[in-house]
Structure formats: C-alpha cells, structure tokens
Homo-oligomer: A and B are copies of this chain.
Amino acid sequence: MIEFWYEFASTYSYPAAMRIEAMAEEAGVAVAWRPFLLGPLLHEHQGMTDSPFNVVPVKGQYMWRDMERVCAQEDLPFTHPSQFPRNTLLAARCAVVGIEEGWTPAFTRAVYAANFVADADIGSPDVLGALLEEVGASPTAVLAAAQAAPAKDRLKDHVAQARARGIFGSPSFLTPDGELFWGNDRLEQALTWASRHQERETA
C-alpha cells in the first residue's frame, strides 16, 4: 500500500494523479487516495498566504515551463490556467466523501483535468457537480454531504495527519514504514520502496 497525498491546486500533482494508478498496479501496490489542503501547512511552515510559485516569481516561471516539459513527456495535455491557484476547499471535501463510495480516484483525475486542461473553475459547485456526474456520483447528494460536518471533519483530519507526518508539499507519497517522498518525480522511487516493504512483510 502507498498513500498518495494531494492538493487540487498543485500543478505537479496533476501528472502524479494521472500516472499513479497504472504504475501502482504494475508494482502490485494498492493506492490510498488522501486529498488534503496544502494552504494551511504552507502558512504554518513558511508564512505563505499564496502559492510559493506566486510568492517567488522566478520559481513560478521555471515551474510553468517545467510543467509543459513534464506533461509533454507523459503525453498529457496541459493548459496554463487563467487563475492560479484556484479555491480547492469544496473539491477536496467532495473527494473525501467519495473515498468510501469508490469514485475518488476518477473524480480526482476529473478535477485535475478541469483545472489544468479545461481551465475550468474547480471552486464552483456547478463545475464540480458536472464532474461528479461524469464519475457516476450524485451531484446533489455529494455536494450536500461535502458541506456537512462529517466531510469537513474528515478533511480537517487529513490536514492534521499530513502535518503530523511531516508533509509540506504536494504530491507526497507515504509508505507503511513511514518513508515520505515528495514530488511527482519521486513516484517511481516511492512505489519501489512500498513494493520492497510489502515483500519483506510477506516473506
């Protein structure tokens, strides 16, 4: 098993979300999808109230060009969104609702594609409703559940877990033996680690 921790506003989490399922299956590792909010941690750790890529423009300039290269290499479409970062609170609350029902992986991919390919406002309930419908979930029921206490609490708990486990960026990958890997470009290494851990446990 590997935990995949992601924030919907994170650019590099988009290719990770698109790649992880096939790669994990190949490695024989199950994926636990862990949507969380990075904003509170960036604020606590680094005093930031905006994306680091906006706070430090020279890093942002690099990141947008790098994203073009990374997506081209993975044959993934990519559009520089007209708004960055977008509000991801409602999307993340919807994503935690789907964990029990099984549609979180497909919904996650749909939200990233909306944000970074279709350039749609993933903060809008209308946009999210259409994506929920796409993945076979009930827009009305899920949007209502997303705004009720259990979903809010579960997302808060994800943020608390991320904080407690030393996560400071997205995407992050956590193995059962507590190894943390940060960044889309560490997905291969994280899966190798998780797979070796499994082999040791079952040997």
Contacts and interface: CB of A to CB of B under 8 A. Distances in A.
A58 B61 CA distance: 25
Interface string A6-46: 00000000000000000000000000000000000000011
A56 B56 CA distance: 15
Interface string A53-67: 000101101100110
Given A65-B180, A180-B62, A56 B185 contact: no
A143 B42 CA distance: 43
A166 interface: yes
A168 interface: yes
Main secondary structure of the interface of A (DSSP, over half): helix
A181 B62 CA distance: 8
Interface residues of A, number: 21
Interface string A95-126: 00000000000000000000000000000000
A84 interface: no
